[in-house]
Amino acid sequence: MLLLLLGIIVLHVTVLVLLFVSTIVSQWLVNGGHTADLWQNCTSGSVFHCLTSSTNGECSLAIRAAAPTSLLFS
């Protein structure tokens, strides 16, 4: 029973660390001179441009709201 409890605690700590990392990391997709994440898309070249990510769908807005909220409740 103690081993099961220890496994559950390790799982929860791992999930919490991954949650912090995925929310805090500023770049999820890096491709040459282009970086993209949940909040903005940036292109580097002769001039560095950052545009806010598209808000085409409700899914994107839900993820933007849930990421910081999940950190608060964790």
φ and ψ of 39, to 5 deg: -100, -35
Residue 67 falls inside a structural domain: no
How far out from the chain centre does Cα 3 lie? 31
**Overall domain count for the chain:** 1
Domain that holds residue 12: 1-31
Q: Over the stretch 8-67, which tens digit does the pLDDT of each residue have?
A: 999 999 988 888 877 777 666 667 777 777 677 777 777 777 777 665 556 666 777 777
Residue 56 falls inside a structural domain: no
Residue 4 falls inside a structural domain: yes
Residue 71 falls inside a structural domain: no
CA distance 12 to 21: 14
